[in-house]
Chains A and B, each alone.
Chain A
Amino acid sequence: MTTDRPLPTAPVPDQEDHVDAPQPEHERPARRATDSEPDHAFGAPPAVRASGVSKTFGSRRSQVSALSEVDLTVAAGEFVALIGPSGCGKSTLMRLVADLETPSSGSLEVFGKPAARARADQDYGIAFQQAGLLPWRTVAANIALPLELHGAPRAERKQRVAELVELVGLGDFARSRPDQLSGGMQQRVAIARSLAERPRLLLMDEPFGALDEMTRERMQAELARISVETGAAVVFVTHSIPEAVFLADRVVVMSARPGRITDEIVTGIGRDVVRDEHLREDPAFFRKVTEVREALHAGPVSAAGAHER
C-alpha cells in the first residue's frame, strides 16, 4: 500500500519529541544500517525460518496439538504480525523461536542458527504476554536486568535505562515498584526491558493487550519507529486486526485445533511509511483490515470473530 498522498515527513504534534528524546537511538541506525546490510544481501539468513514445525503437549494419553506443520519465514528487519483465535498456538510459536520450548518435529532456525544457539547469543528480546516484572526491583532496575546480567558497565546501563524509561513514557516512575503501576504501565516496562539490548529480533506476545486505546496507539507508533530505527525484525502477536495491519509488513493468520497458518496478507505499507494518524484513516488501510478480517473468518473456527478488537 504505497499511498498516493505525500508521506508526512514533518513530525506530527504527538510525536514531535521523537526528534530530541532518545538521542542514542538515532546514533544507532547508523551502526545498524551497516550491520544489517548483509542481511538484505542475497543469501543472508532470515531472522526466523520455521519449516514443518509441529508442537504437541502432554503425555501419550492426553495430547494437545498446539502447532501443526507451520512454515514461516521472517526476513531480517521484517515486521510480522501473528493473529488468530485464542489457543491457536501463537504464544507457542513465539516460545519455540525463543527456545523456551522445543519443537516436536520440524526445523527451526533463528538467524541461520538453531534456536538454542540464538538464545545463547542473545539475538532476540522478548516481551511476554504477562509483564513478568520482578516485584522487588524498581522500574529502572527491571529494565536494567538484562544489561546487568550481560555485564554492561554501570554508566552505560544508567544511560540506557534513562533513555528507555523516557521512551515508554515512565520518566516519573523510574523509582517506583511494579505494584505501584497499572497493568498497562507494567507492560510498558516489559517492552522497555525487551528493547534494552537492541536485539536484532523482537518477540512480542500481545504486548499492548493491557493498554488503553490512546496509550496503545502511541505505543504502536513508537514500536513502528523503533523497528525502523533499529532495523530489528519483529514477530508481534496480537488479537487486534487494525493493530496488525497498522504495524506489520505481513500479517500471518492462524487457526486453531490444530494450530496452523491459514493465510498470509502482505500489507504493502512500506517500512519507510510513517505510522501515524493519517495511515489509520487511509482507505487502503481499511481495505487491508477488511482483507485480514475475511481471512480470519474464513478459518474453520467459529470463535474466530469473538477475538477481534
Chain B
Amino acid sequence: MSATAQTTAAPGLTAARPSRVAGALAGLSVLRAAVLGVLGLLAVAGAWEGYKALAPEDGVVIGDSRVLPRTTDLAMPHVWDMLQRLGEPVSSLRGAAPLWQVVADAVLVSLKVAAAGWVAGTAIGLLLALLMARLRIAEWGLLPWIVLSQTVPLIAFAPMVRSWGSRIEIGGWEWPPWMSVALIASYLAFFPVAVGALRGLQSTDRVHTELMHSYDAGWWATMRRVRMPAAVPHLLPALRLGAAGAVVGTVVAEVSIVYPDGIGRMLVTFAGQASGDPEKAWAPIFGAIVLGLVAGGFIALLGLLLRTYRRGEAP
C-alpha cells in the first residue's frame, strides 16, 4: 500500500517531529509561566506600596472594626526594607547567619518533612484507590470512611500524635518528632489522591476495557496497560491537591507539635519579635510561600513528565 503512504505523506510533514514540537511548546509555556509569575510578584509589591502610600496611617475603621489594615511601618514594612532585612544577620549575636539563610534552612527542613508526608500519603492513597477499584465491596466499605476521615481535624490532635509517637520505641530506634509532622501531612495528602485516583481508574473508556477483554487480558494487565495510564489526567490534579495538603499540614503541625526546626515554628517565633523587628517577621512568610511554590513546581514537572498520558484521542 505504498500508494496510500504517498497520499498521506503531505500531512506527515507537519506531524513528522511531534515530540520536538511538543518539547518546544512546553519550553515556551514554562517561559511564559515564569514571566507571568514575575509580573505577578511585581504587581503584588506595587499594590502593597501603593496602599501603604495612599491609605490613611491608621487603616480604615468602620464602627469598631478595622476593615483595612494600618499602614505603619510596624504593620506593613516597605518591600525594600523586608528584602534588605533578609540579607542582615538573624540576631545581634556575633557570628549570626544572615536571615535569608536561616529561613532557607527552615524551608528545606519543612520541605523534606512535607515531601515525606506527601510520598507516604500518595502511596497510601494510590493503594486505597487500587483496592477500591479491584473490589466493589472495598469501595462501598472504605469510601465513606475515607471521606469521614477528613472531618476529623487531626491537626487538633497534633500534640497527642506527638505524645503517641514519643512512646514508640523499637529496639534502639525512637520515633522522631518530624515523623509526627509528616504523619499529619500524609493524613491531609492521602485523601485527594485516593478519591482522584479512584475516579481516574474508573474513567477508562469502555471501548478500551472491551478491547482488553477481547484479548482475554487479566485484571492486572488491564490495570497496568489501560486503566492506570487513563487515570493520569484525573490523578494530576489530585496529586496537586495532595501536595497543597501536605504543605499546609506540615506548617500547621509544626506549630502545634512545637517542632522547632521547620518554617511553621519560625513563623510563630519571629512574629513574636515583630514589635521590635517588624521586617524579620515577614521573612518566614516569604519562606512559606517559596515552600508552596516548590511543591506546586514539582507537581507541574510531574505533569510535564507524564504528558504522554494526557493526550486525548482526536475525534
Contacts and interface: CB of A to CB of B under 8 A. Distances in A.
Interface of A: 14, 17, 21, 98-100, 119-120, 122, 124, 126, 128, 130-136, 145-146, 148-150, 166-173, 176-183, 185-186, 214-215, 218, 222
Interface in B295-313: 308-309, 311-313
A149 B311 contact: no
A14 B3 contact: yes
Interface string B258-279: 0000000000000000000000
Given A134-B226, A183-B314, 7 more contacts: A132-B210, A149-B225, A168-B1, A169-B4, A177-B311, A178-B314, A185-B8
B25 interface: no
A250 B8 CA distance: 33
A134 B8 contact: no
Nearest to B18: A180
A179 B313 contact: yes
Nearest to A221: B1
Interface string B2-28: 111101110110011010000000000
Nearest to B205: A132
Contact of B229 (A14, A136, A149, A215): A136
9 contacts: A135-B311, A145-B215, A150-B215, A173-B8, A179-B314, A180-B314, A183-B315, A214-B7, A215-B7
Contacts of B214: 98-100, 119, 124, 126
A218 B229 CA distance: 34
Contacts of A182: 11, 314
B8 A128 contact: no
Contacts of A122: 215-216
A289 to B, nearest CB: 25
Contact of B5 (A126, A133, A171): A171
Contacts of A128: 207, 210-211
The 3 A-B residue pairs with the shortest CB-CB distance in the complex, in nearest-first order = A169-B4, A132-B207, A169-B1
Contacts of B11: 182
B9 A178 contact: no
Contact of A181 (B2, B5, B229, B314): B314
Contact of A166 (B1, B15, B225): B1
Contacts of B308: 136, 177
B15 A218 contact: no
A266 B243 CA distance: 65
Contacts of A172: 5, 8-9, 12, 16
B314 A186 contact: yes
A171 B309 CA distance: 23
A98 B210 CA distance: 10
A206 to B, nearest CB: 14
A309 B46 CA distance: 67
A146 B232 CA distance: 22
Given A120-B216, A177-B18, A167 B1 contact: yes
